[in-house]
Amino acid sequence: MPSELTKITDLIIPEILSPYLIEDTIHKSAFINSGIATSDPSVNLSEGGTTVSIPFFKRTGAIGQVLVEGQDIETKKIVASKSIGAVHALGMGFAVSDLSKHFSGSDPIGALSLELSDDWAQTYQQVAIASLEGVFGVTEMADSVLDASSQVLTADMMADAGFLIGDNYSKISCVAMHSAVLATLKKLELVDWVQPSAMEPGYNTYMEKRVIVDDDIAPLEGVYPIYFFGEGSLAYNENEKNISVEYVRNAAKKQDEIYSSRIFTMHPRGMQWVGSPAGVSPTLNELKVSTNWKLAAERKNVAISMLKAKLTA
């Protein structure tokens, strides 16, 4: 009796593959699984368009009042506002000589999803990092940046940078950096290793805040950016119905090709995208342009700050 072979057409079934891909990407993206990028059910990506409204509430400024019998308590109005985020419509593809063999095994769909989700998780973080580069070039965000570009990184700099968002400092839950910065912090004995359980992967922490290492947070002329994030400081939403995975057999090249596309947001909360991209969605270079961004909320309520410093004299 002939053995059953997994056909590549059996793998590319969107309603089966998409849940794998969503779950694997969220698991692998440190920005998402750490809690700094969170979804908002009120953000609607199903209506199309190149931008999307991301709501937030402005602080009321209310303070406690002395209770007086027969006197009403003064009420402050809760003001709902919104910022505008860019919608990212991106795609990727790859090819191998025999895709069926490439994804053989007991769980071929899971293997295919893991292959794609690695690249998508990194893509999401590249979008976030490029956006931050643009955001911290906005003039109104200058007080959220500790620019020590001419100095070598110290423990005091790390402590001071977290307090740039004032009393919102307590919201900071993660610090993102290049691997070379992590190495320096280890030498300064500022980093601890946490292993939540035998079943969970461990991670580094700085002052009990999770450290995210991504070498796309690259230095410029020897100056390294370090980002301090409050929980939920990035808005992540995805149009799950528009996740596309397609297969093409290129007979001329004798290879199998996979193409994947997704539509999502990865937006710094409290900022507004005002750019006009050349295509249907902004490129990484367009996200890095500060004039494509403006402040939509009070600066200290944008729960992200930045430190810039050298690692060597």
Mean pLDDT of 279-299: 95
CA angle 30, 179, 170 (to 5 degrees): 55
Tell me: pLDDT of 56 over 90: no
pLDDT bin (cut points 50, 70, 90) of residue 278 is: very high
pLDDT for 13: 54
pLDDT bin (cut points 50, 70, 90) of residue 18 is: low
**Distance between CA atoms of residues 54 and 178, nearest Å:** 29
Handedness of CA 134, 33, 37, 24 (dihedral sign): positive
pLDDT for 141: 98
pLDDT bin (cut points 50, 70, 90) of residue 96 is: low
Between 6 and 141, residue with greater pLDDT:
141
pLDDT bin (cut points 50, 70, 90) of residue 14 is: low
pLDDT bin (cut points 50, 70, 90) of residue 42 is: confident
CA R_g for the chain: 23
Between 240 and 7, residue with greater pLDDT:
240
Tell me: pLDDT of 229 over 70: yes
Between 255 and 275, residue with greater pLDDT:
275
pLDDT bin (cut points 50, 70, 90) of residue 63 is: low
**Count of residues making up the chain:** 313
pLDDT for 66: 72
Q: CB within 8 A of 59, min separation 6: which ones?
A: 298, 301
- Other CB atoms within 10 Å distance of the CB of residue 62: 12
Task: Report yes or no: 34 and 209 within 8 Å, Cβ to Cβ.
Answer: no
CA angle 23, 303, 283 (to 5 degrees): 60
Between 224 and 98, residue with greater pLDDT:
224
Question: Residues 96-100: contacts with CB within 8 Å, 24+ apart?
Answer: 96/255, 96/256, 97/254, 97/255, 97/256, 98/256, 99/8, 99/247, 99/256, 99/258, 100/5, 100/6, 100/7, 100/8, 100/256
Tell me: pLDDT of 197 over 50: yes
pLDDT bin (cut points 50, 70, 90) of residue 248 is: confident
pLDDT bin (cut points 50, 70, 90) of residue 304 is: very high
Between 121 and 13, residue with greater pLDDT:
121
Alpha helices for the chain (secondary structure H): 8-11, 14-28, 30-33, 99-102, 108-135, 155-162, 179-187, 284-287
pLDDT in tens, 162-172: 999 998 899 99
pLDDT in tens, 102-157: 555 545 555 666 678 888 999 999 999 999 999 999 999 999 999 999 999 999 99
